Amino acid sequence: MTGSLLRVATWNIHMAIGQDGQRNLQRTADVIRAMNPDMIGLQEVDNRIGEHGNDLDSLGHLTGLECVSGPTMQRSDGDYGNALLTRLPVKDIERYEISVPGREPRGLLIVHLESETASLQIAVTHLGLSPGERRVQVRKLVDCLAACDRAPLILMGDFNEWLFWGRPLRWLRAHFGHIRSPATFPSRWPLLRLDHILSDPPERLVSLAAYQLPLARQASDHLPLMASYWLG
């Protein structure tokens, strides 16, 4: 396969609150910088406006990556939700509502990226906590992704789904093929496979591993998930 090899990641940053109970955005940025991703999808980004601006803008400044927001909750002092940080130029942005009534608002962020030689779509999401909620959300997600020709596509995020035989992951396997995600939660002793990076076509995803350096274990309740991806 010819093309360039990209470093792709996803991470639930837990509002920059670490295992020590302290909120430390610089520590979150230090982990991202150490990973050196070409793009990273983030969940639980808390953009309440503070003394130094919102978290997403601050993370962009601290990492040198371009920011794309995917808010799911609007507050009087800012928003909260998903985001993408990227080195590749952003061509277009789509935002979809995949919430279930009575549950925490959820969304799907799709970012169209372009390099000098190829284009790529990145979808970032954070699914709900209840099985029935996730089933509804995955149906909505699949409809959004099937609305037009999206390949090549990467879907990433915290799916809150660890049962590989459950319906949500079965439906996603029908679209993305075999799912081989490692455990990422809880960060100190990972037992559950909550975070996933999926690719269409699947063969472009050539490696997948949890990022387990000590600072990453401290910075959030999830470990980052990293992958290598061939961009044609």
Q: How far apart are CA 66 and CA 89, in angstroms?
A: 8
Model pTM above 0.85: yes
How much is the pLDDT for 78? 77
Question: Domain 4-231 maps to which CATH number in 3.30.1360.30, 3.60.10.10, 3.40.630.30, 3.10.20.30?
Answer: 3.60.10.10
Determine the average pLDDT of the residues in 186-201: 96
What is the DSSP code (8-state) at residue 14?
Answer: G
How much is the pLDDT for 165? 73
Determine the average pLDDT of the residues in 58-72: 96
Give phi and psi for 120, each to the nearest 5: -155, 145
Report pLDDT digits (tens) over 73-128.
987 777 899 999 999 999 999 999 999 999 999 999 999 999 888 899 999 999 99
Q: How far apart are CA 73 and CA 87, in angstroms?
A: 26
Give the residue among 45, 51, 50, 96 at the shortest CA–CA distance from 67: 45
Q: How far apart are CA 71 and CA 226, in angstroms?
A: 23
**Length of the chain in terms of residues written:** 232
Report pLDDT digits (tens) over 47-61.
876 665 689 999 999
- Does residue 211 contact residue 223 with C-beta atoms inside 8 Å? yes
How much is the pLDDT for 151? 83
């792709």: which residue's tokens?
8
Three-state secondary structure call for residue 131? helix
Averaging pLDDT over each range in 62-71, 146-155, 174-183, which range is the top one? 62-71
Q: How many CA atoms lie within 13 A of 129 on its CB side?
A: 4
Give the residue among 173, 188, 180 at the shortest CA–CA distance from 223: 188
How much is the pLDDT for 50? 64
Structure tokens at 52: 């130094």
